[in-house]
Amino acid sequence: MTRIKLATVWLGGCSGCHMSFLDLDEWLFDLAQQVDLVYSPFADVKVYPAGVDVALVEGAIANQDHLDLMYQVRDRTRFLISFGDCAVTGNVTAIRNVLGSAEPVLTRAYLETADVRPQLPKSDLVPPLLDAVMPVHTVVAVDCYLPGCPPSAERIRAVLEPLLRGDRPALSGADLIRFG
């Protein structure tokens, strides 16, 4: 049996989707026998690899690093899953979009509320914010949407099990497709 190359990606979000992934509990042992985890915040991998079969992408695209990574992920992944409400809609991460651009966000965070040495970040250590936070599908093609804030372990498993069998997931019913 060929092992599936699985990746999980964390963009702009709270990591709640990845915490929910860990709620798969004992099923994680079954999953580990069928996949190679090739990229994830759970692993110390610095570069997104080529030839990924399935990627779960958590979070919205909020900065230049996220944007660059998403193009790589899509280019190197066969089946991309928009993982959680931030990835699907922008959700909480996109609330800053009402301000119109990154500038008011940066001004508030780094100048108006600074206690010591107010200054805007000018370092390669801080990726430039995009003027708008975007859900994943607005930048790259998405193969499956997995809503939830965060999606339950049951929903995550309902997407992964068919893929492990070589089938395309088909979520239906309120318990599997409800947002929030």
d(CA 172, CA 106): 41
The CATH number of 4-97+131-177 is 3.40.50.700
The answer on pLDDT for 4 being more than 80 is yes
Q: What is the pTM of this model?
A: 0.92
Convert the pLDDT of each residue in 128-176 to its tens digit: 999 999 999 999 999 999 999 999 999 999 999 999 999 999 877 767 6
> Do residues 133 and 97 lie in contact, with contact meaning Cβ atoms separated by under 8 Å?
yes
Helix, strand or coil, per DSSP, at residue 33: coil
Convert the pLDDT of each residue in 48-99 to its tens digit: 999 999 999 999 999 999 999 999 999 999 999 999 999 999 999 999 999 9
Measured in Å, how far apart are the chain's first and last C-alpha atoms?
36
Specify the amino acid at residue 108.
R
